Chains A and B, each alone.
Chain A
Amino acid sequence: DVKVTQSSRYLVKRTGEKVFLECVQDMDHENMFWYRQDPGLGLRLIYFSYDVKMKEKGDIPEGYSVSREKKERFSLILESASTNQTSMYLCASSDGQPGTTEAFFGQGTRLTVV
C-alpha cells in the first residue's frame, strides 16, 4: 500500500512564527502536492513538485514556500504564519505515469494559528 505520512496531525502556532509541515511518501512517486482544505472551498493547490528540487506554484502560493531535497520528502513552509492560514493541510503524491493521475493523500495536518 502507498503510504503518505505527514509529520503532525495537529499543530498550534503563534502569528509570525515560521512553520514547517513535513510529508514523506514511500512509493518512489515522482509527483508531490500540498493542498489546503477549507469549508466551502474544497481542496486548493498550494504548491507541487514533479521532481527533486523542482517546484511549481499552485493556485494559492502566497505566504508559502516548499522544499524538495529528496524524492520522498516534500516540505511546506509558512514563512510568517497568519491567522488566515488556519486550515487543514493535505499532502499527496502520484507516480506521474501516463494513464493514471490518481493521487494518494496523507492523513492531514490541522494547523491553528493564534
Chain B
Amino acid sequence: DQQVKQNSPSLSVQEGRISILNCDYTNSMFDYFLWYKKYPAEGPTFLISISSIKDKNEDGRFTVFLNKSAKHLSLHIVPSQPGDSAVYFCAASVDFGNEKLTFGTGTRLTIIP
C-alpha cells in the first residue's frame, strides 16, 4: 500500500520555465513533509520541508505548497536550471523528530537547455 504517491515518473521542462512536481498522500496522520533531490550514484539530499501547520514554504527558487484537505503537496522550481535535472522524492512523517520517513516513488526531472 503506497501511502505517498508521485504519479508522474518523469517530467521535462525548458530551462528558465517553472517546474511543478506533485505528490499525493493517503495517511491523514502525516504532519511533516519533505522533498529530496537525488543524482545518479549519490544519496538523496534534503531540499525543502513543510509542516502541516503551514500551507507554503519558500527557499530561494524552491517553494513547497501543501493542501491538507486534498492530501496533496507540490514543489515549484522557478526558474528551472540544468543543474535541477535529477530524481525528486517527496517524503512524509507522522511525528516530528523521531518518526521514520515514508517516501514516494520519485519523479525524474529533466531540464532542457
Minimum CB–CB distance from A56 to chain B (whole Å) comes to: 8
Interface of chain B, main secondary structure? loop
Given contacts A101-B97, A105-B43, A105-B44, contact A42 B105 (CB under 8 A): yes
* Chain B residues closer than 8 Å to A97, beta-carbon distance: 97
Minimum CB–CB distance from A22 to chain B (whole Å) comes to: 15
* Chain A residues closer than 8 Å to B104, beta-carbon distance: 42
Q: Mark B91-113, 1 if CB is under 8 A from A, else 0.
A: 10100111111111110000000
* Chain A residues closer than 8 Å to B89, beta-carbon distance: 42-43
Distance, CA A23 to CA B6, complexed state (A): 29
Distance, CA A41 to CA B103, complexed state (A): 9
Chain B residues within CB distance 8 Å of chain A: 4, 6, 9, 32, 34, 36, 41-46, 49, 89, 91, 93, 96-106
